[in-house]
Structure 1
Amino acid sequence: MTTSPDLEIEELPNLTDPVLIVAWEGWNDAGESASTAAQYLIQQLGARPFATIDPEEFYDFTEARPMARYRNGERFIAWPATEFVHLQSPDGGRDVVVGIGIEPHYRWKRYMSAMSELVDAIGAKLILSLGAVAAGTPHTQPVHVRGSANNSALAERYNMHPSRFEGPSGIVGVFHDHCRRQGVGGVSLWASVPHYLPGITNPVGAQSLLRVVSDMTGLRFDLEPLERGIQRFHVQLEEALQENSELRDYVARLEEASPMPQAEPQPEGELPSADALIADLEDFFRQGGDSNNN
């Protein structure tokens, strides 16, 4: 059914004018916000994956290890493949396909060929790629989402601008440019999440991305379960701050610096012992917010 040796399509769903939403774990996924958003969509509306990109040529399995799973009385190995799921919109709206995977370690150009074949197979004319960047914004402010379009028509429709970023690129930027060269419209959406929480899943960033996705696609889904998780996240984080005066003071400086998130962390003063602060927060969340567990 496919010409790519890497793309496997089991059964192509019947799709009308679908939009493809993609996210990758890894460098472009600060706070796991992008991958969490994609996984949430799949959990809320998705079904079994209908297509995968075989991982064999693209990953170092000592870095992205296969996982042992146990389900329905059987043990099996789950490999880190890129999977594609057709979302079942509850209101019968526009068809949406979500792709989620891990940023490849090898052969990105070959990986792009498999992605292109998937785009052609489903007939997608619009791609939304999700990402998240660590920024100098405090967790007490709303997460800002910025977008860039890869052609002038999309830029005008969504009031966006082409990206002028110069520097190292992750898989999101590479795919965004690849779509442009293939003549496929693409928008990349980036959530700016606090840079002092890099090792902790940030559901607020995921929520902000999902709201923009809903506005752009008309896709409707229930955010209440995610909002409950956000409430727990904030409670635990505030408890952690009460136990770490250095981080509490640092957040206060960020709040005073600017109401708008910055592309790079720009606090007033030096971040105090970043590795130690991160370790403190990770330990706190691992213990479920109970400081008496030590």
Structure 2
Amino acid sequence: MLVALHGFLDAGNGAGVAVQHLLEGGLPDDRASGPVVATFDVDVFHDYRARRPAVSFVRDHYESYDAPRLVVRLQRDTLDRPYLLLTGPEPDTRWEGFVRALRGVVDHFGARPLVSLASVPMAVPHSRPITVTQHANDPELMLRTNSWRGELRIPASVTALLELRLGESGHPMTGYVAHVPHYLAQFDHPAAALALLQGVEDSTGLSFDLDPLKVAAQLRDGEVASYLEENPEVAEVVAGLEQQYDAFARAEEEGSSLLAEDEEIPTGDEIGEQFQQFLAGLDEPDGRN
């Protein structure tokens, strides 16, 4: 089962783009969107005041209410092998109850393992390969070595709780978190979706047609590159991020300090000021975003 919930860990809409690809373009025909095999009572979990659904007002009446849905679909990969896909908004309340209900679905279908998809904003340049952090409740599920050392205290998510609780009951679960350039976190980032689905393939043996995502990622990179060519002051800030990233990578390889020596790195205020202009430029109605 793939778990792709939106609302918190979705920088660049990484999991969302991956789900859209699976539901609309993951197969060479019109069978991509599979049947719903389980649903959750969203009213029990959703805070409508914090995340208000959209509704259309047409002349003198309301219509087309986008009701939030938490559903499990039965999907098939490119080799016609079945898998389950959980999508929808991350529950705002009753996390333990949601985890218990989902565990019932997992047991009913015998889904093994579960794989979660997420993405976070990071101070990394778009010109370097997307990095991904893997996590799991069973060391045997770990296929990658992460750069993190020691303990990090971070805000919890329902998928984090799910992984903990499933581990306590012997259900294997792993997950992938793509690191999205923070200055692109508000825009769809196909490269993040591509990296996440490649992780799913590694952990499950499923096969997806990822060529459309590769093309979309190249187009996005081209849009950003064009913007930087026209805005050298922003390109200079990105170059600073590249220096920082490369210094970190060299230190990791050499086992030395992770701090770049004798390199001038832009301050946080400088980065924020430049990328406010950067984001505004990408959102212009000239078709670049």
TM (norm. structure 1) is 0.78
2:163 corresponds, among 168, 176, 188, to 176
Query: In the alignment, does 2:80 pair up with 1:92?
Result: yes
Check 1:228–1:102 CA distance in 2 against 1; reply closer, same or farther (3 A cut): same
1:21 match: 2
Q: Percent identity?
A: 26
Check 1:34–1:290 CA distance in 2 against 1; reply closer, same or farther (3 A cut): closer
Runs of 5+ consecutive residues of structure 1 not aligned to the other structure: 1-19, 70-74
Check 1:153–1:224 CA distance in 2 against 1; reply closer, same or farther (3 A cut): closer
Deviations for 1:106-139, whole angstroms, at most 9, x for unmatched residues?
A: 2222221222222122111211011112122100
Check 1:35–1:178 CA distance in 2 against 1; reply closer, same or farther (3 A cut): farther
Q: Give the counterpart letter for 2:70 in structure 1.
A: T
Check 1:184–1:283 CA distance in 2 against 1; reply closer, same or farther (3 A cut): same
Measure how far apart 1:227 and its partner are.
2.2
1:190 corresponds, among 174, 177, 180, to 177
Check 1:277–1:131 CA distance in 2 against 1; reply closer, same or farther (3 A cut): same
Query: In the alignment, does 2:16 pair up with 1:35?
Result: yes
Measure how far apart 1:242 and its partner are.
3.2
Check 1:245–1:167 CA distance in 2 against 1; reply closer, same or farther (3 A cut): same
Measure how far apart 1:146 and its partner are.
2.0
CA contact (8 A) 2:132 2:176 kept: yes
2:35 match: 48
2:186 match: 199
Q: Give the counterpart letter for 1:101 in structure 2.
A: G
Check 1:143–1:117 CA distance in 2 against 1; reply closer, same or farther (3 A cut): same
How many residues were matched structurally?
265
Alignment of 1:30-179 (within 5 A): 30-43=11-24, 44=26, 45-68=32-55, 76-93=64-81, 95-155=82-142, 158=143, 164-179=151-166
CA contact (8 A) 1:236 1:289 kept: no
Runs of 5+ consecutive residues of structure 2 not aligned to the other structure: 27-31, 57-62, 252-259
Check 1:289–1:280 CA distance in 2 against 1; reply closer, same or farther (3 A cut): farther
CA contact (8 A) 2:183 2:279 kept: no
2:59 match: none
Deviations for 1:34-70, whole angstroms, at most 9, x for unmatched residues?
A: 222123222223313222212102112233333448x
Query: Take 1:258 and 1:279, find their aligned partners in 2: how far apart are those partners?
Result: 21
Question: Alpha carbon RMSD of aligned pairs, Å?
Answer: 3.1
Measure how far apart 1:164 and its partner are.
4.3
Check 1:177–1:246 CA distance in 2 against 1; reply closer, same or farther (3 A cut): farther
Check 1:26–1:96 CA distance in 2 against 1; reply closer, same or farther (3 A cut): same
Measure how far apart 1:84 and its partner are.
1.3
1:284 match: 281
Query: Take 1:200 and 1:99, find their aligned partners in 2: how far apart are those partners?
Result: 23
Query: Take 2:193 and 2:144, find their aligned partners in 1: how far apart are those partners?
Result: 22
TM (norm. structure 2) is 0.80
Measure how far apart 1:209 and its partner are.
0.9
CA contact (8 A) 1:60 1:105 kept: yes
Query: Take 1:65 and 1:51, find their aligned partners in 2: how far apart are those partners?
Result: 24
CA contact (8 A) 1:42 1:85 kept: no
